[in-house]
Amino acid sequence: MERLTRRAAAASLLLTLLLGMLYYITQSIRVESLEEVTKIPADGRSDTHSRVSDVRLTSPDHLQYKQPSVVHGRTDVVSVTPWLAPVVWEGTFNPVLIDSIYKPQNVSVAVTVFAVGKYIMFLKSFLETMEQYFFVGFNVHVYVFTDQPKDVPEVRVAAGRQLTVRLVPSSKRWQEISARRMELIQVLIEETLHHHDYIFCLDVDALFHGRWGAESLGGLVAVLHPGYYKDGRSRLPFERRPQSRAYMAPEDGDFYYCGGAFGGSLQEVHLLTKTCRYNFEADAREGIEAAWQEESHLNRYMWIHKPSKVLSPEYLWQDFARRNPEIRIIRFSGIVKNYADIRPNV
């Protein structure tokens, strides 16, 4: 009898041990797969030194400008996020003051734009309006990625501004072009890290209509999507399938950000592109493509790594959208286009 209970005790001890091990193993697998989604590449931050000094906001003595108020300001929009990042709207900043702070820093701003396939038709007016409105008086270096370098238009640029053409292979699917953007931006940053302070990655099928300047600078910069900035979480078009690394649970999400405009310091955008590319490719190996490709992965990234500056939809409006009263100025806006005419596949 005693031997039997001892045996039973030993057996139950063994079972407990086995169950414990099993639990440990499944838990560590879970943690690993979660980490994959939000992984911070080991060499993302450590090997670089920032040239950016947005912590020291030095302004000239005796600069004349309207006294700011802390009790009067815009009341129709929110100009700060719950993690205390500014949300940039017309009327929340003084452009003269902003320029007087950032111009002496001699910052260099890189821009990437993809003009692949028929999208080359948008490049000329993009570049011409950019010259008029985007970081006027600053060092701006535009990198045009195209499969048709001969068709890149000649656009006269002011001193301190330049354009470089980078050749990319043509692609039959626009989803593929979109997917490779992250990789191409990542590689560009690795090659030009010491030449620029900030980078913005912009859609080519859009025009500038108003100032886009140094008020938009920040470590990690996201633009509120014009189509969803008033909507509740359940209406935001995040990736909803848990199998994807861009997955957002129903109770997740701050805002829905644009894939058509984002930026920040070179270090931060490098980490973003590297992570999104990794997750996109890992998804692809498992046969899954997120609902809005890179935009879905970008939104997942920005949920975990909160942007330090959020730009209002003034910074990427859509020409076909009705202008809402809180939109006092449109700075950059997507042009109306017929997808069937310009995409290699729909």
Number of residues in contact with ligand NAG under rule CB under 6 A: 3
Shorter beta-carbon distance to ligand NAG: residue 103 or 230? 103
State yes or no: residue 106 binds ligand NAG (CB under 6 A). Answer: yes
Q: Residues 35 to 64: which contact ligand NAG by CB under 6 A? A: none
Shorter beta-carbon distance to ligand NAG: residue 106 or 243? 106
User: Shortest CA distance to 286 belongs to which of 242, 249, 238?
Assistant: 242
Task: Output DSSP code: residue 1.
Answer: -
State yes or no: residue 275 binds ligand NAG (CB under 6 A). Answer: no
The enclosing H or E element of 318 equals strand 317-318
8 Å CB contact between 106 and 132:
no
C-beta of 141: minimal distance to ligand NAG in Å?
8
Those residues with Cβ within 8 angstroms of residue 270's Cβ, 6 or more apart along the chain or in another chain: 44, 48, 186, 189, 190, 193
8 Å CB contact between 197 and 189:
no
Shorter beta-carbon distance to ligand NAG: residue 139 or 171? 139
Shorter beta-carbon distance to ligand NAG: residue 53 or 106? 106
C-beta of 76: minimal distance to ligand NAG in Å?
38
Q: Residues 129 to 168: which contact ligand NAG by CB under 6 A? A: 139
C-beta of 53: minimal distance to ligand NAG in Å?
13
Report the alpha-carbon distance of residue 43 to residue 229 in Å, rounded: 34
Q: Residues 170 to 189: which contact ligand NAG by CB under 6 A? A: none
Catalytic residue, candidates 90, 268, 295, 314: 295
C-beta of 24: minimal distance to ligand NAG in Å?
53
Helix ranges, the chain (H)? 2-38, 95-102, 123-133, 174-192, 266-285, 293-304, 339-342
State yes or no: residue 192 binds ligand NAG (CB under 6 A). Answer: no
Strand duo 257-265 + 220-224: pairing: antiparallel
8 Å CB contact between 149 and 166:
no
Shorter beta-carbon distance to ligand NAG: residue 108 or 308? 108
Shorter beta-carbon distance to ligand NAG: residue 12 or 106? 106
Tell me, yes or no, if 183 is annotated catalytic: no
Distances from the Cα of 191 to the Cα of 88, 196, 281, 333, angstroms: 30, 11, 22, 30
C-beta of 196: minimal distance to ligand NAG in Å?
8
Those residues with Cβ within 8 angstroms of residue 38's Cβ, 6 or more apart along the chain or in another chain: 275, 301, 304, 305
State yes or no: residue 108 binds ligand NAG (CB under 6 A). Answer: yes
C-beta of 108: minimal distance to ligand NAG in Å?
4
Those residues with Cβ within 8 angstroms of residue 156's Cβ, 6 or more apart along the chain or in another chain: 131
Q: Which two tokens stand for residue 165?
A: 């053409």
Residues that bind ligand NAG (CB under 6 A): 106, 108, 139
- Which of the residues are catalytic? 295
